[in-house]
Amino acid sequence: MPLQNPHLALGSCQRQVALWIAASAMVLSSVGCAHRSRTPLTAVEVAKPLRTDVPVYSEWIGTTVGYIDAQIHSKVTGYLLSQDYKEGSLVSTGDLLFEVDPRPFQAVVDQASAQFNVATAQLTQARADVQAAKAEIDRSEAAQVKTQLDVKRYRPLVKDGTVSEQEFDDAVQSNLANEALVVASKGKYDHSLAAVKAAEAQIEVARSALQGAQLNLGFTKVKSPINGIAGIRVANIGDLVGTDQKALLTTVSQIDPIFVQFPISEQEYLRLRTFFLAKASRQEGELELILSDGTVYDQKGKIDIIGREVEASTGTLRIRGIFPNPGNVLRPGQYSRIRAATRIDRDALLVPQRAVEELQGEYELAVVGADNRVSFRTVKATNRVGSYWVIEQGLGADDRVVIEGLQKIKTGEKVDPKDVQLPPLTSGRSDVHGSVP
């Protein structure tokens, strides 16, 4: 057998190796494609936005104020003798709080009482003098009537000599004297009446002095003018107190109901004036009170007064709400937040908060299109309602929003979406950004 050309044999071998390498590459390529075609798509949960009416709440910072805050002062000047209440306790109208040393005022009462008794005795004497003067008038008038009759009887008898001129003259003189006595008696009677008037006036003066002294004596017992909680005392036992010193003894606050005052800006008032004026006129219980620990007070309040003017220094208008306070849980001076539903957003679109990402004040969510590819959108999220965000712009009612698996996807990626139904809104409370001054 003839020998083969070694160059031809080598070329044939190289071709076989090349063919084997090409075939191997094709096999590996087909295996890689098959492997890639079997890689599963990222599974995500998607849901259409929840569409519903949402009450939008506004909040303001306020302070509790007593319904009545009565500052207790002493109405008389004296030394504080005793404290007769427990600080921080409930007191009723008329309960004794403090007592000022009553001895100087008791002495004045005793003196005024004595003067009143003297005036009463003088009035009694003056009235007795009136009775005596009246009796004297009666006697003098009776005597004058007798002498007048004597003169009348003697006059014709003088002419015939039965009665002498001397007897007639004596009768005339007696009658004149009795007439003068009648006039004097009437004058004395008038004087007695004037003395009675003076005594009555004096007794009124004495009575007024006695009443004033008794009133001041009563003021030594400082009593509560209202039902409420008595505060910590300011004055100490032994202090000189009174109207001149202007010394505050304590404060009693009626706190059921209790006021809550809060300022709002002029611009916000103009924006919400319909709400405030309507609620103030209807006296509806639409205010919620959020305490400093974050808990919501279990009693609802209503708008009591809208302030008369905008304060020039702050540009705010003062609003006052009123809340029931059974058990006196709330106390004056407490920090609080006031919340009220100021409007209703109709057919608002809501998505779960976990579906929204916030970065530097901008909000973004992922939407799956009809081709199951992901796109990220910048939206305008306005209010939080329970566990939802209200999306005002950038989202349609039929868009499918990624609510689970958001961290595993990227723009343009094809995903395996699973449609779910969002649960209904369980809280009708929403918060408006920037409403708290």
Does residue 387 sit in the same domain as residue 355? yes
The whole-number pLDDT of residue 12 equals: 52
* Domain finish residue from 295, 314, 343: 343
State which of 251, 266, 298 marks the end of a domain.
251
| CATH number of the CATH domain containing 236 | 2.40.50.100
Domain total in the chain: 4
Residue 419: inside a domain: yes
State which of 312, 343, 374 marks the end of a domain.
343
Q: Are residues 327 and 414 in the same domain?
A: no
**CATH number for the domain that contains residue 322:** 2.40.30.170
* 3 is a domain residue: no
**Whether residues 215 and 226 fall in one domain:** no
**329 lies in a domain?**
yes
- Determine the structural domain holding residue 239 and report its residue range: 70-100+222-251
Query: For residue 62, is it within any domain?
Result: no
Same domain, 184 and 230: no
Pull the structure tokens for residue 35: 């492997």
Segment 222-250 shows an average pLDDT of 88
Angle CA 123–125–129, to nearest 5: 115
Band (pLDDT 50/70/90 cuts) for residue 3 is very low
Quick one: pLDDT band at residue 157, thresholds 50, 70, 90? confident
**Alpha-carbon distances of 69 from 224, 228, 230, 259, 321, rounded to whole Å:** 11, 9, 10, 11, 16
Please indicate, yes or no, whether residues 338 and 350 belong to a single structural domain of this protein.
no
Reported as a single tens digit per residue, the pLDDT across 5-43 is 444 444 454 555 555 555 555 545 554 554 445 578 999
Residues 233 and 377 in one domain: no
Would 13 be classed as within a structural domain? no
Same domain, 208 and 244: no
Closest to 42 measured CA to CA, from 420, 412, 423, 421: 412
Same domain, 203 and 226: no
pLDDT at site 146:
85
| Confidence label for 437 from pLDDT (cuts 50, 70 and 90) | very low
pLDDT at 361: 82
Asked whether the beta carbons of 300 and 283 are under 8 A apart, the reply is no
User: 3-state secondary structure string, the chain?
Assistant: CCCCCHHHHHHHHHHHHHHHHHHHHHHHHHHHHHHHHCCCCEEEEEECCEEEEEEEEEEEEEEEEEEEEEEEECCCCEEEEEECCCCCCEECCCCEEEEECCHHHHHHHHHHHHHHHHHHHHHHHHHHHHHHHHHHHHHHHHHHHHHHHHHHHHHHHHHCCCCCHHHHHHHHHHHHHHHHHHHHHHHHHHHHHHHHHHHHHHHHHHHHHHHHHHHHHHHCEEECCCCEEECCCCCCCCCEECCCCCCEEEEEEEEEEEEEEEEEEHHHHHHHHHHHHHHHHHCCCCEEEEECCCCECCCCEEEEEEEEEECCCCCEEEEEEEECCHHHCCCCCCEEEEEEEEEEEEEEEEEEHHHCEEECCEEEEEEECCCCEEEEEEEEEEEEECCEEEEEECCCCCCEEEEECHHHCCCCCEEEEEECCCCCCCCCCEEECCCCC
Is residue 18 in a domain? no
pLDDT in tens, 61-117: 999 999 998 999 999 999 999 999 999 899 999 999 999 999 999 999 999 999 999
Looking at residue 245, what is its pLDDT?
58
If asked whether residues 407 and 359 sit together in one domain, one would say yes
- Mean predicted lDDT score pLDDT of the chain: 85
Neighbours of 350 (CB within 10 A): 25
Assess if residue 406 is contained within a domain.
yes
- Quick one: what percent of the chain has pLDDT higher than 90? 51
The tokens of 178 are what? 């009795």
Stretch 356-373: mean pLDDT, rounded?
Answer: 91
Q: Is residue 64 part of a domain?
A: no
Mark whether 94 and 194 lie in a shared domain: no
Find the CATH number of the domain harbouring 384.
2.40.420.20
Report whether pLDDT(297) > 80. yes
Residue 431's closest CA among 354, 365, 339?
339
- Taking the C-alpha atoms of residue 412 and residue 59, their distance in angstroms, rounded to an integer, is 41
Which of the residue ranges 124-138, 307-321, 416-430 would you say has the lowest mean pLDDT? 416-430
